[in-house]
Amino acid sequence: MNKVPFGPTYDEMLHPETISPDVRATALKQLHDNEMDPINLFNINWKDADNKVRKIVLPPELTGVDANIVVMLGCGFPSGSHKVGPAYSTLIEGLVDGEISAEHTILGPSTGNFGIGTAYISKLLGLKAVVIMPDNMSKERYERIRRYGGELELTPGSESDVILTLERTHEMMKNPKNKALAQFELMANYRFHRHVTGGSAIEAVKGVGNGRIAGFTSAPGSAGTLAAGDQIKVAFPEAKVAALEPYECSTLANGGLGQHRIEGIGDKMCTLIHNVLTTDFIILIKDEETVQGVKVFHDGTDLLLKMGIDPALAKILTYAVGPSGICNIIGAIKLAKHMRFGPGDNVVTIATDGFDRYDSVLEELNARYLELTENVLSRWTQDIFIQADEQHIYDVRRPAAKQRLFRQKESDWLKFGYTQAYLDSMQDQAFWEAEYAKVAPYNHKILAQRGE
């Protein structure tokens, strides 16, 4: 086991090449050899050993659009998803601010990956964690949380019942021994994704197409990932940002509430940390298509090769994209079609996690469809990706649409004790810039804690 020099700064998560070379080398080694070694905190970043962003570029043969669909891969993060980044950032900010200490129990309200990240980070930093999540998620998630030593506190329901986990969290926070990593509320999540994911997205398109970003799509769970769009717009003001929702639970689009099966997203709310000012479109994606897409990527290699997909890419597709990643890819294709993006334009999106937690989801799909021949997978590939339509795209750039989203946020958050004045302050981009500006002071505080 290595002694942990506390953990990385925001800048080191964006530029891991600036981490001291021996720490970086040991961390990369331990990512494969021992994921429970605390040195893995220094693997919380989007880059591979060559300091290149882990990504794939989907070609027109698969997407039906001329624009490049650039997918950043979250499965290479320790614990298997980028949600470990917000978990680390919220915990480390609490620690350097003196609000969290070794005596506290860490609460992680989640539908899965943030809970996995919370259990994992707490374990590395020697803290006790309780993950509060719905009782009907894929079983691989509970197993992983237990493997990382996290306790489970289950609330009834599934993906779109996350509001119950929030209520339980706020109840448990009345005990001063409990400290919540409140991903839907704490700006550390915004800071991580704006600085680290946004900055990495800008690097990811270097040498791809025209080197710029024309569009960014992400399906909010917490809306943390969407914050990357704010940074992308600073670098490329023309970029359009689309938030994706399940067609079955279209809360941001039109207040719709319903059960759906895209794990990790569509949580029936406008989260506190969602900067709706920079969201240009909301696009609805059908949940069944996301599971069918996972089937095509995971089991359709022969078909993909016949379609002319590069074998190395086809191999990555077998393990690197879960249902919400498929949702993000479909959204990227729809945005590219809607905006008439052409050759050379890049749409960036995210695969939050890989296949490793969805075996049970495919088992269920196989049982429902009985006969899944190559012909069926080929039809799905056409319907889901290549022939993706432009239906259910909501343009939310006008003030009336923004006001509707502000009202949604109020109905979701006033009840948790946030004031109208605080929520009103979020209607000004200056609020978000001020939150982002805290990255630099937190970098210093983390370095100070490390004695540097």
* CB closer to ligand PLP out of 30 and 189: 189
Q: What does the per-residue mask of binding to ligand PLP show for 265-284, with x meaning CB under 6 A?
A: x-------------------
Nearest approach in angstroms of CB 354 to ligand PLP is: 10
Nearest approach in angstroms of CB 152 to ligand PLP is: 16
- Please say whether the dihedral angle defined by the alpha carbons of residues 378, 379, 384 and 388, taken in this order, is positive or negative: positive
- Is position 77 an interface residue for ligand PLP (rule: CB under 6 A)? no
Longest dimension (CA), the chain: 61
User: Taking CB under 6 A as the criterion, which residues in 345-374 touch ligand PLP?
Assistant: 352-353
* CB closer to ligand PLP out of 223 and 372: 223
Nearest residue to ligand PLP, scored by beta-carbon proximity? 264
- Is position 324 an interface residue for ligand PLP (rule: CB under 6 A)? yes
Of positions 39, 124, 213, 223, contacts ligand PLP by CB under 6 A: 223
Q: Which residues contact 127 (CB under 8 A, 6 or more apart)?
A: 91, 100, 102, 104, 105, 106
Q: What does the per-residue mask of binding to ligand PLP show for 126-165, with x meaning CB under 6 A?
A: ----------------------------------------
Q: Identify which of 78, 266, 93, 81 has the alpha carbon closest to the alpha carbon of residue 180.
A: 93
In the 8-state DSSP scheme, what is residue 104?
Answer: P
From 111-119, 160-168, 334-342, 382-390, give the range in contact with ligand PLP by CB under 6 A.
111-119
From 246-254, 258-266, 279-287, 362-370, give the range in contact with ligand PLP by CB under 6 A.
258-266
Question: Cα separation of 210 and 336, whole Å?
Answer: 15
Number of residues that bind ligand PLP (CB under 6 A): 19
Of positions 16, 220, 229, 354, contacts ligand PLP by CB under 6 A: 220
From 61-69, 217-225, 390-398, 426-434, give the range in contact with ligand PLP by CB under 6 A.
217-225
Q: DSSP string of 169-207? A: HHHHTTSTTEEE--TTT-HHHHHIIIIIIIHHHHHHTTT
Per DSSP (E only), the strands in 279-357 are 281-285, 346-351
- Is position 224 an interface residue for ligand PLP (rule: CB under 6 A)? yes
Q: What does the per-residue mask of binding to ligand PLP show for 81-100, with x meaning CB under 6 A?
A: --x-----------------
Q: How far is CA 131 from CA 147, 310, 332, 384, in A?
A: 13, 40, 32, 34
Phi, psi of 86 (to 5 degrees): -60, -35
Q: How many CB atoms sit inside 10 A of residue 31's CB? A: 18
